[in-house]
Amino acid sequence: MEAKTAAPQPFALSLEFFPPKSDEMEAQLWEAVEQLSPWQPDFVSVTYGAGGSTQEPTLAAVRRMIGDARLATAAHLTCVDASKQEVKAVVEEYRAAGVRRIVALRGDPTTGLGTAYLPHPEGFSDTADLVRTLVAYGDFDVSVSAYPEKHPESPDIAADINTLKRKADAGATRALTQLFFDNDIFERYLEKVRAAGIAIPIVPGIMPIQNLTQMKRFARRCGASVPAFLDDRFEGLDDKPEERAKVAADVAAEQIEDLMRRGLDEFHIYTMNRAPLVSAVLEQLGRCRRQAASVGAAA
């Protein structure tokens, strides 16, 4: 008698995209959206540059994801280098486009990472201040950020968790984490978050590794560590794209499976606007997939 295979464990899923900056990137984005929509994400999000540098592309992408792709879409929103009235004007544009989910962020200083953040004199003092305003509308689901290895500007993890608590107390629905690769680090962080009285879901942010060298550079800027085992897993695969892609899918799927064993059931995947690797991860996890539907021609 054959042993029965355990049914895939269900989990909530959100996917993150970034707005395009060229015609080529535009085509890549919508190809990725079309290929990933069948995986039935609970929602998708579209990023937003420092100081609103991608405000118009973000709004255009959000409108198309809602109108053509029929995806529940969260628009990112920052408060850096903008007055409260300017931010509220963007919120009204989002609402008019049908947005009812927002990822509220402080935003990186326009002077670059590592420089001091200075609130706009007529702007929101911090993310918690922005969250309170969004929650007051009464019809927004508000996500915020969390940092298992602390934000690069935080003096220590306790101060970072205190910042998260202010956002949660302001009414945030959930926190989406910065990328991480060591689940023990995340579990210790989650224990401290709960001990601080923060009850909102802390959703692991998963970054499938498209290119390990580039990932290391990005992780350093984010203050995230890259475990040595990843070098071992990818060793000798620089000139073997098919094998490298398989290992990358294995690594991300194994990370999610381990987190599910630890009790997590909601994940946020950073797609980098590339579908094949993300699809391979979701297929390995046994997620249900429906028939693809075209997102339509670009306006």
- Return the active site residues: 16
Contact present, 230 and 208 (Cβ < 8 Å): no
DSSP H helices, the chain, are 23-36, 55-67, 84-96, 127-137, 157-169, 183-195, 212-222, 229-234, 241-261, 275-284
Q: How far apart are CA 204 and CA 231, in angstroms?
A: 22
Q: How far apart are CA 104 and CA 145, in angstroms?
A: 8
**Rg (Cα) of the chain, in Å, rounded?**
19
Contact present, 136 and 84 (Cβ < 8 Å): no
The DSSP-derived string for 147-195 is -TT--TT-SSHHHHHHHHHHHHHTT-SEEEEEE-S-HHHHHHHHHHHHH
